[in-house]
Amino acid sequence: NAGVTQTPKFQVLKTGQSMTLQCAQDMNHEYMSWYRQDPGMGLRLIHYSVGAGITDQGEVPNGYNVSRSTTEDFPLRLLSAAPSQTSVYFCASESPLSTEAFFGQGTRLTVV
């Protein structure tokens, strides 16, 4: 059981570049979300989805886009990377029965 698979694990971007962080889960969870983790600020919600075709903004959505065409996948797109987006990014999916969140291994993104 793979759980939540998040790729890549590390990435360095130049300012202005775009990229997509991939997230896939094989647990048939309807709820998926993206967080960024910065020192002293915990995990902050970027975007989330309660099912295929449904997405909504979290606390810090600016500079990021998401889509949810299937239950399994929830990619996060950085449109034009900025140094302020240097962070560790986590994807998570959640069981509706236990409400336990399952996390990917995280992506350490550096924007130079």
Partner 1 sequence: AQTVTQSQPEMSVQEAETVTLSCTYDTSESDYYLFWYKQPPSRQMILVIRQEAYKQQNATENRFSVNFQKAAKSFSLKISDSQLGDAAMYFCAAFIIQGAQKLVFGQGTRLTINP
Site for partner 1, rule CB under 8 A:
31, 33, 35, 40-45, 48, 50, 56, 58, 88, 90, 92, 94, 98-101, 103, 105-106
Q: How far is the CB of 91 from partner 1 (least distance, A)?
A: 11
Closer residue to partner 1 (CB): 14 or 40:
40
Q: Give the CA count within 13 Å in the CB-facing half-sphere of 55.
A: 20
Locus of tokens 């929830």? 74
Closer residue to partner 1 (CB): 76 or 94:
94
- 3-class state of residue 83 by DSSP: helix
